Structure 1
Amino acid sequence: MAFKLALLFGVIAFASVYVSATTTTTVTTSVTTVSADDDSEGGLSLSAHDRSVIRKTWEQARRDGDVPPQILFRFIKAHPEYQKMFSKFASVPQNELLTNGNFLAQAYTILAGLNVAIQSLSSQELMASQLNALGGAHKPRGATPIMFEQFGAVLEEVLAEELGSSFNAEAKSAWKNGLTALVAGISKTLKNPQDLADPQTKLSARQVRDVQRSWENIKSGRNAMVSSIMIKLFKETPRIQKYFTKFANVPVGSLSGDAEYNKQVALVADRLDTIVSATGDKLQLLGNINYMRYTHAARSIPRSAWEDFGRLLMESLAASGVSSDDLASWKGTLGVLVNGISPKN
């Protein structure tokens, strides 16, 4: 049970999850830091009531003397691939862990860390310091936000198992608020600066770099690519062609020879080139998105058309040899563009 309690306060549990009990970790200043006055995830703005409930229920949960080893045992049992990260007992069979000295030492290190984290709840400065230290210790080890999110997914089940009727709606709400803030805070410290999304454009520097670099390699053939996408789009959903009045009734098979169609292809290809070029300039990008949203709203083009265009563009990029890493950046970027041009209702 308690393994997830260790994780429920995922910060410290994870702090111990990768560091052997005898290892000292030095935190460097290269880590993305969370400040105490950060008004987003770093501040962990929990109410006094939530903090009180978390402390009270934690005191109840840890009374069982078997809790510390069970924390770590349940963690490894749920995610056996993580055992290799504990060098002192990486090869110990699971059925022998609860009697292994190195395993037990690590388990009680986790318990001590949990207590420190929970006591830090009353101070945003102390908690910010905890998050920064954990990010510094675990980013070099490859820890990812998803690992902490995995802990959150099992939290309610584990708390209910350990606390029984004490884990009522009030306690559930308090722990949910605390864990959400902690996972968000530690996730921020685990990301490299280039992976942090701009708060306005919602794009990271890595996405901008990948998209612009890969586009530069293929943009000379952008007209042919866009034409292929549009013809596929019209074949899949014929009604979309009706939005283009100048060639609405031209047979799809004859479009490549139609002057008005080719003008539209060039316009779309150039607009795509302009938007990609603008991804690194916040004002230009937002201006282009707003322009596209304004000019197309009057035509009532459905969001699904933009989504389909993006899907076909991804297929064309893959066929053009764009790497899987760059395609991941394209996918995220196209999602931002579609949401900006045609927001969900």
Structure 2
Amino acid sequence: MLKITLLLAVTLAVAYAHQYAPGTVVTTVTSTTTTTSVSAGDSDDSGLLSASDRAIIRKTWEQARKDGDVAPQILFRFVKAHPEYQKLFRSFASVPQDELLGNGNFLAQAYTILAGLNVVIQSLGSRELLANQLNALGGAHFSRGATPVMFDEFGAIAMDVLAEELGSAFNAEAKAAWTTAVRGLNAGIVKTLKAPEDLVDPQTRLSGHIIKDVQRSWENVRGNRNTIVAGIFQKLFAGTPRLQKAFSKFAKVAAADLSANADFNKQVALVADRLDVIISAMDDKLQLLGNINYMRYSHEPRGISRQTFEDFAELLIESLASSGVAADDLSSWKGALAVFVNGVTPKK
């Protein structure tokens, strides 16, 4: 069943999270754990909804929801205005419209709106929560053929019902606040109305599609990972000789002798295995963030520049290309490596 009525429960999420669409949530880390910044706070006026707007919306919704007829009226007017959409709700697709307000399945769907919106309104300060809800909404409705215009139509009807219910309480300020929220709908839904595997996780900033491409192509070359990493190190040292000096055990070894040096090969194996661990854990959010966290804090004391990591990533792409990795997969690799580099050495 196309639970398009869940739109109302995330309309504010769309508006507030639009500027912070999936992939833009800031993640901070400590030396032992990964901590995600999730709260914007009611004093934060950034985004499409200001703290004042959020307060107005909470207050007016608290007034409106006291009337248990609000949610059923919104859903009823939606399917009455667009009869073709009723067919998308299998549980009451064939119920005559004049019987809908007394139908249990219809009312159950209507009150899903009420429960969902209550949660959203209480969570307006959490960017991550709203972004995750938006991802869930878009991914769930993509396969059902939902379009942005459906959400627009629903939002307009919801506004009309609220205006009638609230009367004079739906003053100019209230109307402006709710209008701002609803206007964020199209931009937000377009970003997330995708196949679930194409949605970017708000924390990792990776999509399932990227993860699948990288892990699959890595499996084909991972047996040769030490050779790949050794070649990258040698090119890095040749281009920037001072980088080799950061490795005290083989700092003075001639370039021609590196491949036969035990300490160099141990370092190569360490980096190759770490890369293997990170890639293997890409589909496990906690492990992935933990690995990136470890890389960041194990390398910061060494003063390794962001440029060095960017160079390593670029040389890895070149090596993968020469190993026969397809162009589409390389595009996913570039996206994944950008996430890794940003996590290990955030832009200042």
**Contact (CA 8 Å) 1:36, 1:42: kept in 2 or not?**
no
Match of 1:336 in 2: 339
Measure how far apart 1:253 and its partner are. Answer: 1.6
Q: 1:229 aligns with which of 225, 232, 235?
A: 232
Match of 2:214 in 1: 211
Match of 1:305 in 2: 308
Q: 1:247 aligns with which of 230, 247, 250?
A: 250
The change in CA–CA distance for 1:183 and 1:141 in structure 2 (over 3 A counts) is: closer
CA distance in 2, matches of 1:338, 1:253: 29
**Contact (CA 8 Å) 1:293, 1:340: kept in 2 or not?**
yes
CA distance in 2, matches of 1:30, 1:232: 54
Match of 2:161 in 1: none
TM-score, length of structure 2 as denominator length = 0.51
The code of the aligned residue for 1:329 comes to S
Q: 1:41 aligns with which of 5, 14, 33?
A: 14
The change in CA–CA distance for 1:312 and 1:137 in structure 2 (over 3 A counts) is: closer
Q: What root-mean-square deviation, in Å, do the aligned CA atoms of Structure 1 and Structure 2 show?
A: 3.7
Unaligned runs of 5+ in 1: 1-27, 51-123, 126-131, 144-176
Measure how far apart 1:196 and its partner are. Answer: 1.0
Match of 2:267 in 1: 264
The change in CA–CA distance for 1:209 and 1:250 in structure 2 (over 3 A counts) is: same
Unaligned runs of 5+ in 2: 19-47, 54-116, 121-136, 149-179
The change in CA–CA distance for 1:281 and 1:251 in structure 2 (over 3 A counts) is: same
Measure how far apart 1:240 and its partner are. Answer: 1.2
The code of the aligned residue for 1:260 comes to D
Alignment of structure 1 residues 66-215 onto 2, 5 Å? 181=184, 184-215=187-218
Match of 1:290 in 2: 293
CA distance in 2, matches of 1:183, 1:309: 39
Measure how far apart 1:328 and its partner are. Answer: 1.2
**Contact (CA 8 Å) 1:139, 1:191: kept in 2 or not?**
no
CA distance in 2, matches of 1:218, 1:262: 18
Could you report, residue by residue, the CA deviation over 1:311-338 in whole angstroms, capped at 9, with x for unpaired residues? Answer: 0001111111111111111111101111
The change in CA–CA distance for 1:202 and 1:178 in structure 2 (over 3 A counts) is: same
**Contact (CA 8 Å) 1:210, 1:326: kept in 2 or not?**
yes
Measure how far apart 1:181 and its partner are. Answer: 3.7
The code of the aligned residue for 2:327 comes to S
Q: Which runs of 4+ in 1 moved over 6 A?
A: 135-143, 177-180
Measure how far apart 1:46 and its partner are. Answer: 5.1
The change in CA–CA distance for 1:136 and 1:304 in structure 2 (over 3 A counts) is: same
Measure how far apart 1:41 and its partner are. Answer: 3.3
CA distance in 2, matches of 1:322, 1:141: 35
CA distance in 1, matches of 2:303, 2:346: 12
Overall identity of the aligned pairs, in %: 53
Q: 2:280 aligns with which of 252, 277, 282?
A: 277
Match of 1:324 in 2: 327
Match of 2:76 in 1: none
TM-score, length of structure 1 as denominator length = 0.52
CA distance in 2, matches of 1:327, 1:179: 38
CA distance in 1, matches of 2:329, 2:302: 32
Measure how far apart 1:276 and its partner are. Answer: 0.3
CA distance in 2, matches of 1:142, 1:35: 15
SS at match of 1:215: helix
**Contact (CA 8 Å) 1:223, 1:269: kept in 2 or not?**
yes
CA distance in 2, matches of 1:253, 1:180: 63
